[in-house]
Amino acid sequence: MGGLINEKLKKIREILEEKKAGDIVILDVRKLTWITDYLVIATGETSIQTRAIAEAVIEKFNNPPFSIEGFETSWILLDYGEFILHIFLPEVRQFYNLEKLWMDAERINP
């Protein structure tokens, strides 16, 4: 994993932890898809918290996302190109279970 992307993922993890996001998982999907290099998955306990997490990432990360999806729903997606951040409510995360879908991806801890 390159130095710059490692620093970006560390920054995202710091912001998520600061906003008390739960169960943060970072998956290296470079060998599995062309869509992105990494998936970052986190949980917010309420819709207010998921929006607050997303707003903090948008505000504190130095680059704006290419795309924002689901800002008023139970699954917020921020697409930064090299990585995609998914912020779920607990029951939605459990239902979609991205970790199982991408179980061949390596979990990393930048």
What is the pTM (predicted TM-score) of this model? 0.92
Domains and CATH numbers, the chain: 3-108 (3.30.460.10)
Tell me the per-residue pLDDT of 8-45, one tens digit each, with 9 for 90 and over: 999 999 999 999 999 999 999 999 999 999 999 999 99
How far apart, in whole angstroms, are the C-alpha atoms of residue 40 and residue 85?
A: 5
How far apart, in whole angstroms, are the C-alpha atoms of residue 19 and residue 90?
A: 16
Tell me the per-residue pLDDT of 85-94, one tens digit each, with 9 for 90 and over: 999 999 999 9
